[in-house]
Amino acid sequence: MSPPLTEDMTPVTMASIKIVGAQPIENHTFTLTCETAGSVESVIWMYNWSPLYADNRRNLSMDNTTLTFDPVMKSDNGNYQCVASNQFIKVILRLCLCV
């Protein structure tokens, strides 16, 4: 059983993955954001259900809400998940990326 909500803690009430700017074009910068509402303690990006980490072409913002490909490549095609959570709930969003 989950602990009761405190006044300063609300469940994650909304989450969505947004494309920033244009659709993905190979060899161009492409950005996704994970927009949330409520008390979000953690945002994690996943690629094909495995944790996604920053590398030489993929960058994550400090709060993990923004994923930027610089550049995006055909090899980036696949299923991306944004997992927004707090101690009460985990919200998982999916987006299929096709370059």
Residue pLDDT, tens place only, 77-87: 999 999 999 88
Q: What is the mean pLDDT of each run of 10 residues along the chain (99 residues)?
A: 55 84 94 91 94 96 96 96 89 91
Rounded distance between C-alpha atoms, residue 59 and residue 6, angstroms? 34
Q: Classify residue 1: in a domain, yes or no.
A: no
Give the Cβ contact number of residue 33 at 10 Å. Answer: 17
Can you give the pLDDT at residue 64? 95
pLDDT at 8: 60
Structurally, how many domains does the chain consist of? 1
3-state SS assignment for residue 75: helix
Give the β-pairing of 66-69 and 78-85: unpaired
Q: Assess if residue 65 is contained within a domain.
A: yes
SS3 at position 21: coil
**Residue ranges making up the domain that contains 88:** 14-97
Q: Are 55 and 99 in contact (CB under 8 A)?
A: no
Q: Residue 47 sits in a domain of what CATH number?
A: 2.60.40.10
Residue 4 inside a domain? The answer is no
pLDDT for the residue 9: 62
| 9 domain-assigned | no
| Domain assignment present for 68 | yes
- Under a CB-based contact definition with an 8 Å cutoff, are residues 12 and 36 in contact? yes
- The pTM of the full predicted model, rounded to 2 decimals, is 0.85
- Report if residue 77 sits inside a domain: yes
Alpha helices in the chain (DSSP H): none
